[in-house]
Amino acid sequence: MYKLMVVRFDSSSGSYDDAEFMRFCESNKILHIDKEFVQTESSVYYSFFIEYLPAVKRFEKPDMKSMSEVEMSQYNRLREWRNELAASEGIPAYIIMYNAQLYEIIKRQPQAKVDFCAIKGMKSKADKYGEQIIKLLQETELEHEE
């Protein structure tokens, strides 16, 4: 993708107004930038022609406030299970699953391995962890019903 941006020099502050340009560069993968310095009688600015790729959406942080008491218990139980599993395998917990994935599992309440396909990054992990996760979700829900 391509974008043309202009960054003007603000003579009153003595600096370039580059906040929008910086935000754009930080939130996208920049492949190439051509810049041109332009000075006219009334203004000074840089013109940027940017070749970029849109940033890949990352996992969003879980919205803990929207969780019910049962969901919060399920989330905490899954985190404990994941952390214990990671420690036993000697790897960081996020390698097994991100907190955002745990949150999605709680919100979607999968009942079968195939249900994990709808959760980003979980399709390949369903065979390995799916049955354990479903069991933990069901056990936690039953504990709250008693």
What does the block give as tokens for 86?
A: 């990671």
Instruction: Report pLDDT for 103.
Output: 92
Distance between CA atoms of residues 136 and 6, nearest Å: 54
User: If pLDDT is split at 50, 70 and 90, which confidence band does 93 have?
Assistant: very high
Residues 37-89: pLDDT tens digits? 999 998 999 999 999 988 765 666 777 788 899 999 999 999 999 999 999 99
CA-CA distances (angstroms) from residue 113 to 65, 94, 100, 130? 27, 20, 18, 5
Instruction: Report pLDDT for 57.
Output: 59
What does the block give as tokens for 58?
A: 């990352």
The pTM assigned to this predicted structure is: 0.59
User: If pLDDT is split at 50, 70 and 90, which confidence band does 29 have?
Assistant: confident
* Domain spans in the chain, listed from the N-terminal domain onward: 2-54, 64-145
Distance between CA atoms of residues 39 and 72, nearest Å: 59
Instruction: Report pLDDT for 12.
Output: 87
Q: Which range, of 16-20, 33-37, 52-56, averages the lowest pLDDT? A: 52-56
Q: Is the pLDDT of residue 22 over 70?
A: yes
Give the CATH fold of the 64-145 domain: DNA polymerase; domain 1 (1.10.150)
Mean pLDDT of 91-114: 92
Residues 103-142: pLDDT tens digits? 999 999 999 988 988 888 888 899 999 999 999 999 998 8
Distance between CA atoms of residues 81 and 143, nearest Å: 17
